[in-house]
Amino acid sequence: MANKISDEVIDYVSILAKLELSEEEKEQAKSDMGSMLDYIDKLNELDTDGVEPMSHVFPVTNVFRDDVVTNGDNSAETLANAPAEKEGSFQVPKTVD
């Protein structure tokens, strides 16, 4: 594996992804990420001069919806997924910005 992921990088990525990894998982993630970057390096060997960057895998554009209300009150279904509920809202730990 050409790409080596440092402990600092894996710790930073864990923070961004809100994941707490065990030492074992960290080693596994480091090796997985390293081989992903190796694969990207492989792609980079191709000459892409003059090739338009691809922004989507399907050659389709302009899929739109008309501005018409189609959904009604769906609160019961939405709140069915709430671990905790209060006054029709999701209850979460106090979050102040």
Partner 1 sequence: MSRQYETVIGLEVHVELATKTKIFCGCSTEFGGAPNTHTCPVCTGMPGALPVLNKQVVEYAMAVGLATNCSITQYCKFDRKNYFYPDNPQNYQISQLYLPICRNGGIEIETAAGRKTIGIHEIHMEEDAGKLIHDEWDDCSLVDFNRSGVPLIEIVSEPDMRSAEEVIAYLEKLRLIIQYLGASDCKLQEGSMRADVNLSVRQVGSETFGTRTEMKNLNSFKAIARAIEGERARQIELLEEGKEVIQETRRWDDNKEYSYPMRSKEDAQDYRYFPEPDLVPISISDEWIARVREAQPELHDEKRRRYCEEYKLPDYDAQILTSYKKLADLFEETVAICNRPKKVSNWLMVETMRLLKEHNMDPDELSFQPSNLAKLIMLVENQTINGTVAKEVFEQIFKEDVDPERYVEEKGLKVNSNADELYEIVRRVIEENPQSVEDYHNGKQKAIGFLVGQTMKATQGKANPGMVNQILKELL
Binding site for partner 1 (CB under 8 A): 15-16, 18, 55-58, 60-71, 73-75, 78-79, 81, 86-97
Residues composing the chain: 97
- Taking the least distance from each CB to partner 1, the nearer of 46 and 60 is 60
Question: How large is the greatest C-alpha to C-alpha distance in the chain, in angstroms?
Answer: 58
- Taking the least distance from each CB to partner 1, the nearer of 44 and 81 is 81
- Taking the least distance from each CB to partner 1, the nearer of 39 and 90 is 90
Four-point Cα dihedral 19, 22, 24, 30, nearest 10: 30
Q: Residue 75 to residues 20, 68, 71, 87, 91: CA-CA distances in angstroms?
A: 32, 19, 11, 11, 14
Q: How far is the CB of 46 from partner 1 (least distance, A)?
A: 19
Q: How far is the CB of 12 from partner 1 (least distance, A)?
A: 8
